[in-house]
């Protein structure tokens, strides 16, 4: 069967591989000059940066897509330190990859009984065990999922998912230390949500990191896209770069053609690896389905790529500098649609492990703060003020004038994210999870009104981030046809 995949982000690449392995003829249409979507790279002078996702967990989802020779070629290492956390009172805490060691050290640093921390991690695992076969690995929008053995088990255990309390309130009921609460609250940002609104079900996220670990590919995150592209090419997938999809034509409940900037295609079915809102509003020229229209957009990001002409031994690959008022920060992002003066700052430095990413005297800083999605704000002004606030914060906490150390610079804001990746309003994860029913508001992995249209990627079920994007491609693989083309 002839398959068109729209977009070559990580889900598009994975879907193309799955479809080619089924024996289909796959063509990927990509508006950009290269594959990878947000998972791209940037070279500025002697500094190399990964432009998008910087955390790599559950590498088995990538490896499982590869043939034996490429499995060997794809090299990555587990990080000994998951992340360094810096608090406003100048204290800092490093998270070990060893869960037992983390519990022991966190108990001392946060002055919390280790039984409480261990219980919290066990709760995270239990939520994962319940949700994974039902909400992550299968379609949330098919009755067969709920009628399966794991589905029935999941439904019977829904009461254990803490859907009716917020993530922050659930944490505050289990632990006392405000720093430790803030530490775990941060995991809501992994899918662009607000811990003060999102259900405590999101406490599933720490399990992905603590149980499975954090990794870094040998040459940076771009390696993930590179190896999947190699696998797709090996399976005879055809890529059409600099070829944007202009419209999708359908008759009754079937797509019969896809018009690009260069050609017209007549596929048997289509897999859209682009924002679901873009598919409906721009490609199909239709109104949004009610459930998607209701869903609140996720947060976006403001990122600075700084080549820093100094090395900082106290920093590692992943580093967090917390805000003194976390609730105020999220209030600005989700309610005021702006940026606070004291944002939480994340710094990713791959040159800590990949020496060629920066000169010997320097480091490649990927500096990110969470930001509201684009709603017409003055991003020039917001970006200038944010840069000033970030520099002031980092200079104080690192006891160094960071501005004087910036050798090269670039940035990514919600407008650029929207322009470059066709993400609605620059949202990084499609819709947020700020409602206990948010998972049901996400676009399903198939269209309920068009028989041969499927969806994968961060804006659809099960959500954003590398592991979930790859799971969305797995779900599409399960529900797409194997047999004869339509007549």
- Checking if the pLDDT of 461 tops 90, the result is no
**Residue 336 DSSP code:** S
- Which pLDDT does position 464 carry in this prediction? 82
Indicate whether this model's pTM tops 0.85: yes
- Which pLDDT does position 288 carry in this prediction? 86
The arithmetic mean of pLDDT across residues 368-392, rounded, is 97
Pair 426, 413: CB distance under 8 Å: yes
Residue 483: phi and psi, rounded to 5, are -95, -140
Share of the chain above pLDDT 70, in %: 92
* DSSP symbols for 417-485: HHHHH--GGG-SSSB---STTHHHHSBPSB-SS-TTEEE-STTBTT-SSHHHHHHHHHHHHHHS--SPP
Give Cα separations from 275 to 288, 315, 373, 462 (angstroms).
12, 35, 14, 13
CA dihedral 219, 221, 226, 227 (to 10 degrees): 90
- Which pLDDT does position 487 carry in this prediction? 39
- Checking if the pLDDT of 98 tops 60, the result is yes
Say which range, 64-78, 91-105, 123-137, 235-249, has the weakest mean pLDDT: 123-137
- Checking if the pLDDT of 486 tops 50, the result is no
Structural domains of the chain, with CATH: 2-33+241-296+432-479 (3.50.50.60), 41-55+78-97+213-218+299-428 (3.90.660), 101-211 (no CATH)
Pair 273, 5: CB distance under 8 Å: yes
**Of residues 184 and 422, which shows the higher confidence score?**
184
Output the average pLDDT for the chain.
91
The arithmetic mean of pLDDT across residues 378-407, rounded, is 98
**Of residues 58 and 430, which shows the higher confidence score?**
58
């Amino acid at each position: 069967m002839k398959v068109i995949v729209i977009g070559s982000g990580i889900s598009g690449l994975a879907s193309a591989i799955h479809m080619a392995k089924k024996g289909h003829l796959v063509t990927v249409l990509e508006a950009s000059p290269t594959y990878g979507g947000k998972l791209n790279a940037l070279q500025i002078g002697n500094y190399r940066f990964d432009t998008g996702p910087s955390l790599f967990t559950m590498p088995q989802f990538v490896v499982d897509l590869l043939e034996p020779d490429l499995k060997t070629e794809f090299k990555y290492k587990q990080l000994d330190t998951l992340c360094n956390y810096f608090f406003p009172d100048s204290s800092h805490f490093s998270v070990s990859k060893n869960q037992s060691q983390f519990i022991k050290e966190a108990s001392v640093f946060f002055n919390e009984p280790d039984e409480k921390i261990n219980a919290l991690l066990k709760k995270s695992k239990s939520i994962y065990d319940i949700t994974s076969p039902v909400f992550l690995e299968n379609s949330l929008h098919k009755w067969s999922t709920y009628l399966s053995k794991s589905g029935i088990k999941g439904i019977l255990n829904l009461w254990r998912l803490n859907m009716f309390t917020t993530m922050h309130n659930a944490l505050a009921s289990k632990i006392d230390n405000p720093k430790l609460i803030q530490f775990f609250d941060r995991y809501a940002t992994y899918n662009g949500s607000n811990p003060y609104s999102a259900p405590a079900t999101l406490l599933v996220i720490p399990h992905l990191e603590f149980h499975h670990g954090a990794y870094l590919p040998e040459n940076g995150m771009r390696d993930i896209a590179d190896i999947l592209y190699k696998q797709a090419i090996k399976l005879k997938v055809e890529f059409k770069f600099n070829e944007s999809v202009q419209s999708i034509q359908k008759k009754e409940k079937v797509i019969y053609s896809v018009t690009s900037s260069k050609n017209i295609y007549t596929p048997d079915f289509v897999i859209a690896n682009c924002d679901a809102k873009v598919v409906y509003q721009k490609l199909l020229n239709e109104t949004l389905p009610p459930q998607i229209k209701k869903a609140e957009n996720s947060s976006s990001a403001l990122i600075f790529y700084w080549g820093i002409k100094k090395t900082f031994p106290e920093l590692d690959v992943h580093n967090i500098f917390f805000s003194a008022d976390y609730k105020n920060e999220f209030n600005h992002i989700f309610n005021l649609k702006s940026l606070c003066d004291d944002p939480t700052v994340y710094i990713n430095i791959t040159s800590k492990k990949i020496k060629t990413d920066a000169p010997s005297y320097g480091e490649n800083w990927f500096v990110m703060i969470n930001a509201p999605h684009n709603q017409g704000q003055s991003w020039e002004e917001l970006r200038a003020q944010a840069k000033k606030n970030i520099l002031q914060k980092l200079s104080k906490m690192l006891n160094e004038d960071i501005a004087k150390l910036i050798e090269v610079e670039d940035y990514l804001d919600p407008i650029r994210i929207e322009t470059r990746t066709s993400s609605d309003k620059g949202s990084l994860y499609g819709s947020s999870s700020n409602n206990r029913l948010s998972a049901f508001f996400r676009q399903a992995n198939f269209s309920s009104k068009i028989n041969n249209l499927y969806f994968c990627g961060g804006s659809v079920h099960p959500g954003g981030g590398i592991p979930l994007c790859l799971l969305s491609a797995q779900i599409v693989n399960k529900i797409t046809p194997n047999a004869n083309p339509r007549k």
